[in-house]
């Protein structure tokens, strides 16, 4: 099956800092989504981004499908941004695969 690798595994930020999370995938995909899982386990859909660039407030994402990677940018981080960020891809056999996640801790 398709392999999804996220980096870094852990990230500690000071409030107000910017950061970039990366997602690499091993094969062509039909779509890609970024999720944020809060400390209570709830998965929130951040971006549905099979290609191109999207922005939503302080967050933005870019997917370069031909090079098999996606980036999630967090600007001016806040403590509420803490949690685990997952990248998930749908392969050509229509199965969804998640990466292992990046755990982000934002300190006040």
Partner 1 sequence: DAGVTQSPTHLIKTRGQQVTLRCSPKSGHDTVSWYQQALGQGPQFIFQYYEEEERQRGNFPDRFSGHQFPNYSSELNVNALLLGDSALYLCASSFRTGGLSPLHFGNGTRLTVT
The distance of closest approach from Cβ of residue 15 to partner 1 in the complex, given in angstroms and rounded to an integer, is 25
The distance of closest approach from Cβ of residue 12 to partner 1 in the complex, given in angstroms and rounded to an integer, is 17
Task: Give which of 38, 39, 81 is closest to 57, Cα–Cα.
Answer: 81
* Rounded-to-integer distance, Cα 41 and Cα 43, Å: 6
Mode of pairing for the β-strands spanning 96-98 and 4-7: unpaired
Binders of partner 1 among residues 44 to 83 (CB under 8 A) are: 44-45, 48
The two tokens of residue 2 are 């398709």
Q: Closer to partner 1 at the Cβ: 17 or 98?
A: 98
Binding site for partner 1 (CB under 8 A): 30-31, 33, 35, 40-45, 48, 86, 88, 90, 93-101
């Amino acid at each position: 099956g398709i392999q999804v690798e996220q980096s870094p595994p852990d990230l500690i930020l000071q409030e107000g800092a910017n950061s970039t999370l990366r997602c690499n995938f091993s094969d062509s995909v039909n779509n890609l989504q970024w999720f944020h899982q809060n400390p209570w386990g709830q998965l929130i859909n951040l971006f549905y981004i099979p290609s191109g660039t999207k922005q939503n407030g302080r967050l933005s994402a870019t997917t370069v499908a031909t090079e098999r990677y996606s980036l999630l940018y967090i600007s001016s981080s806040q403590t509420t941004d803490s949690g685990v960020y997952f990248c998930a891809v749908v392969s050509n056999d229509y199965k969804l695969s998640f990466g292992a996640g990046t755990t982000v801790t934002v300190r006040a």
